[in-house]
Amino acid sequence: MNNDFSGNIPTSLGSLGFLRYLNLRNNKFHGQLPLSFGNLFNLVGLDVGKNNLSDVLPSWELFALRYLILRSNHFYGKIPTELCHCGQVLDLAMNHITGNIPRCFSNFTFIVTSINPSEHNPHVNVDNNVILVDAKGSELAYTTTSELLFSINLSNNNISGEIPEELMDLHWLLSLNLAGNHLSGRIPGKIGKLEKLEFLDLSRNELYGAIPQSLSYLNFLSHLNLSFNDLTGRIPDGNQLQTLNDPSVYVGNKHLYGGPILEPFPKGTDSNGFRDNSKADIFSDDEHMWLYAGIGPGLLVGFLGFCGSLHFIKSWRYFYFHNLELVFNKLAVSIALFQRKFRN
């Protein structure tokens, strides 16, 4: 982890049959993952994030695997169903993955159970770091003794299709990041079943329809991002949702209204659906600035156009200067009469 290793990952690592955790994160490895890794039946955690690996996603059947982190590489292809056996953390973010989200993700052994997973966890004594990325892009280190750490991150790929209803059965899921894909369809109405969820990012997809009311049931939700989709209707009310009052959570959905969007859509706006009244004066000053900035060039263009017309059109020039002479003569006579009257 965090070295300057390069070249191919040695295939000999696949012969370490009792290896339980392998962290090659943040190096310069390239090429493919060794096929011999499919023999690491005791492997609990594998982190090869932030390298230059280019390969199809692995289809190993490693039933002990609980942490698989392949983020920030060049993996491609569809997500194989074999990865549905991953136990707790699956991070495939920032690759070139295509296809749909497998419905078999509901088989994640430790996430789906509604009882304490640590009671059925034979590997809680493994003491290694798992690196996850938070909402601001910062890396956070967790130990694999954190038996209640459950996360799925498929962000910034080319995944399409709908969000499977089966994902809503992952009762212990803490973080779900599907941002930056081509997901379509509606947000599952049963999303409120993810009762432990703290982080949800569905932004930059092609989701449409209403935001499910059940989203307001997520009492532990501390980060939410639904921006830049095609969501419509009223934003659900709820105690926890009311604390997430940043309009940027919903920006880019033209027909949402209510909640932290201070200017409701039905009363007339076809913008991204919100306006922060606390910044109204700033917006007003900006409008005035652009108005004043446009007056000067407008007057200049008009004046140059007028002078050009006088230069090229003789009849206009004669008419203008003839009448201008008459005006000045009348003005001179009026001034002379006024001065004579004043002297008398």
pLDDT in tens, 177-221: 999 999 999 999 999 999 999 999 999 999 999 999 999 889 999
Instruction: Report the C-alpha gap between 258 and 247 in whole angstroms.
Output: 10
Total Cβ atoms within 10 A of residue 10 = 12
pTM of the full structure: 0.70
pLDDT in tens, 138-171: 454 444 444 557 899 999 999 999 999 999 988 8
Instruction: Report the C-alpha gap between 260 and 247 in whole angstroms.
Output: 5
pLDDT in tens, 308-335: 555 556 565 555 556 666 656 666 666 6
pLDDT in tens, 43-91: 999 999 999 999 999 998 888 999 999 999 999 999 999 888 877 899 9
Q: Where are the domains of the chain?
A: 6-281, 295-343
Residue 304: what pLDDT? 60
Residue 33: what pLDDT? 95
pLDDT top residue among 106 and 222? 222
SS3 39: helix
- Is a pLDDT exceeding 70 seen at residue 241? yes
- Is a pLDDT exceeding 70 seen at residue 344? no
Candidates 34, 39, 36, 1; CA nearest to 18 is 39
Residue 270: what pLDDT? 38
| CATH dotted code for 6-281 | 3.80.10.10
